[in-house]
Amino acid sequence: MIQSDERPIGIFDSGVGGLTVANAIRQVLPNERLIYFGDTIHLPYGDKSKETITGYSTRITRYLLEQDCKIIVVACNTASANAYETIIGEADNKASVVDVIDPVVKYVTSQNKYKRIGVIGTKSTINSGTYVSKIIAGNPHLSVTSVATPMLVPMIEEGFIFDDISNAIIRSYLSKPELDNIEALILGCTHYPIIKNQIKKFYNFQVDVIDSSLIVANALHAILEMNNLMNQPSGNQPQHRFLVSDFTEYFQAVSKLFFEEDIVLEKVNIFE
């Protein structure tokens, strides 16, 4: 008889962005129970110091471990770039840790069709140099360039999408010469899949726009399977929990864009 591990998967981000990853995980692993934590009281992470980001990420990881999570998904590029090793240390063999950078790096470096790759993300993610260094280490023949796009997260969080304002901001960033002649663009922030079609349209659908959500979900599936951590079908619908450190009505509304259905948010301030 195949062993079933019913413990939940813990997922965290600074806000709603990680719900794009959670939604992909739900689709790839429909039997798994999710506990999502959005640290809305501290968002955005992208303009904060490495030490501050690491402190928040460590506390959230500790909380998810207290909820008996069998694996922690760092569904935030900024936290993945700045706090990944510390999070692994905090997990300390109690749970595996999956970030949103390494699976994407593995994907792009295994492709033979790319020569020049662009990356966009928060200031903290881009300034860390994590994407560039890891991609070059995985395939030194690739040319990688990155651009910080700090206005995109607040733009999305405030609902400025699919309109002239968002199109103007996107055009301003993507027109930078550093991104000329790229063949693929990595969306180095889990908020950005919401505007993926606008980005594709800017490039006239001639550039591969790489969304980490499904890549991470598939990587997670492989890890669970390899380590015999899968929750087997039981006939019952898994009951997910969605937690935030601060609650606003707007956050409740915009979360539907990310998770593609209404969800109930619980406010839990673990930082007090």
Question: Which amino acid, residue 161?
Answer: I
Q: In the chain, how long is the greatest CA-to-CA distance?
A: 58
Closest CA to 189 of 163, 221, 155: 155
Residues 6+ apart with CB under 8 A from 137: none
Asked if 76 is an active-site residue, the reply is yes
Residue 9, sorted as left (phi over 0), alpha (psi -120 to 50) or beta, turns out to be: beta
DSSP string, 8-34: PEEEEESSSTTHHHHHHHHHH-TT--E
Half-sphere exposure of 172 (CA within 13 A, CB side): 11
Cα-trace Rg, the chain? 18
Closest CA to 117 of 132, 102, 103, 128: 132
Provide the sign of the torsion angle of the four alpha carbons 124, 149, 35, 255, taken in this order: positive
Catalytic pick among 170, 182, 189, 199:
189
CA distances from 100 to 17, 79, 220, 223, 264 (A): 12, 9, 10, 14, 25
Asked if 189 is an active-site residue, the reply is yes
Length reported for the chain: 272
Tell me the C-alpha distance between 189 and 194, whole Å. 10
Catalytic pick among 76, 101, 142, 214:
76
Q: Which residues are catalytic?
A: 76, 189
